[in-house]
Amino acid sequence: MDDVTDLAVSQGGYVTRAQLLSLGSSDFGIAKAVQSDFLRKVRHGTYAPAATYDRLDAEAKFRVKVRSVLDKLGPDYVGSHRSSSAVHRFGTFRVSNDEVDVTRRDGTRGRVEAGIRFHHGTVRDEDVMMVDGMQVTEPVRASIETTTLPGLRRDLEAGVVLLSEGMRHSGARREEVAALLNGRFASWPSTSVARTAITIADGRCETVGESRSLYLFHRHNVPMPELQVWIRLPDGTLARVDFLWLLHRTFGEFDGAVKYAARADEPRGVLYEEKLREDALRNYDLGGARWGWAALGRAQSLSTARQIMATLDRSVRLYGRSRIEIPIVDPPVLGGTVTPAETVAAARRLESITTG
């Protein structure tokens, strides 16, 4: 069965029934292979070797399914909506991968097939790109398309996550996305969530949790902070916080972790003691708030918002008259001294950030 595995690997993780038959198997043999846990059924007429397929997470398995569908349908179709979002590796929230979304490029309706949701609409050349060998809609369009799916078209929180991901992956600005919604996509149905979400979403969000935090701020009237702010510490290192309420002298962290980078004149990847970094931020008369995934849930979000507001108010009382300057470093100033990979490598989790 090595030839089956090799074939699957060569074409993105799957084999078809026709290919298995050409390799000498039979329908009975295929069924036997599934029962004996050698093969996994990806979709109708499509299988994957369990040895490779089982190592994939749910999103990667869905991408295998998307690839198999696009390969079957050919170049007249593009992966769209949730299919494109998955191929772009969006972080998503409440998006169900129970169907593969495709759109016919010539704007006509496609055929109906189980497990595939066919869409029709105008698809321009500039709307399409190749990602990992798959023809899909570009990130901004993919994010807007996905918000129109049943189950998501009234979910503002999921919309904020999707629009943030679309901007993050494309580099598009909020104004550009809003222009598309009010221009080319103005006649699209079910875009009301996207129109509201774009006023909240931010391409600087790096995780689903950060995007959901923006929704929490909006829902509970927490002042909107600046995102991904770099602060130069006294020893020359750079600390990046997820959120900064400058007027309230408070930083916020979705996961409780402040990110650090070494000085440009020191070896890359140098790690610094957490406590020193925490003290350095405190020395700038800054309060801190942190929250996790559970704190963003519907049952906890109001309480979380109140805690954040209490931290902002307390910081204003304690540090509102402070004359200590917070040395914020603009991203362009960083130049080539800090890369995302190095930032991750140099990150240290802060276990004891206080709320004041």
The pLDDT, as a whole number, for residue 165 is: 97
What does the angle CA 177 – CA 179 – CA 184 come to, to the nearest 5 degrees? 100
| 34 Cβ contact list (under 8 Å, min separation 6) | 40, 41, 47
The pLDDT, as a whole number, for residue 54 is: 97
Query: Which residue in 197, 255, 204 sits closest to 225, CA to CA?
Result: 204
H helices, E strands: number in the chain: 15, 15
For 227-277, give the DSSP string. EEEEEE-TTS-EEEEEEEEGGGTEEEESSSEEEEE--TTS-TT----HHHH
The pLDDT, as a whole number, for residue 257 is: 58
Specify the residue for token string 């979403």: 201
Structure tokens at 103: 């759109």
Q: Are 277 and 237 in contact (CB under 8 A)?
A: yes
Question: What are the average pLDDT values for consecutive 10-residue runs of the chain, which has 356 residues?
Answer: 91 97 96 97 97 96 98 96 98 93 83 85 94 98 97 96 98 97 94 97 96 98 96 84 94 72 43 58 89 95 98 96 91 47 29 29
Identity of the residue numbered 9:
V
| Helix/strand/coil percent split, the chain, to 5 | 40, 20, 40
| 149 Cβ contact list (under 8 Å, min separation 6) | 81, 82, 95, 101
The pLDDT, as a whole number, for residue 282 is: 79
Cα 158 to Cα 176: distance, rounded to the nearest angstrom: 20
| 41 Cβ contact list (under 8 Å, min separation 6) | 34, 47
The pLDDT, as a whole number, for residue 268 is: 39
Sequence-separated contacts (24+) of 74-77 with Cβ below 8 Å: 75/105, 75/135, 76/104, 76/105, 76/106, 77/102, 77/103, 77/104, 77/105, 77/110, 77/135
The pLDDT, as a whole number, for residue 332 is: 54
Query: Which residue in 193, 143, 148 sits closest to 172, CA to CA?
Result: 143
Which one-letter DSSP state was computed for residue 224? P
Does residue 168 sit in helix, strand or coil? helix
Identity of the residue numbered 338:
V
Q: Are 54 and 40 in contact (CB under 8 A)?
A: yes
The pLDDT, as a whole number, for residue 9 is: 95
The pLDDT, as a whole number, for residue 263 is: 45
For 282-349, give the DSSP string. HTTT-EEEE--GGGGSTTTHHHHHHHHHHHHHHHHHHHTT------EE-HHHHTTS--HHHHHHT-EE
Identity of the residue numbered 143:
S
The pLDDT, as a whole number, for residue 114 is: 83
Q: Are 158 and 199 in contact (CB under 8 A)?
A: no
The pLDDT, as a whole number, for residue 107 is: 75
Cα 261 to Cα 334: distance, rounded to the nearest angstrom: 10
This prediction's pTM? 0.86
The pLDDT, as a whole number, for residue 39 is: 97
Q: Are 68 and 46 in contact (CB under 8 A)?
A: yes
Q: Which residues pair with 251 in a beta bridge?
A: 244, 288
Query: Which residue in 215, 101, 89, 220 sits closest to 151, CA to CA?
Result: 101
Q: With b meaning 16 or more CB within 10 Å and e meaning fewer, what string describes 56-92?
A: eeebebbbbbbbbbbeebeeebbbbbbbbbbbbebbb
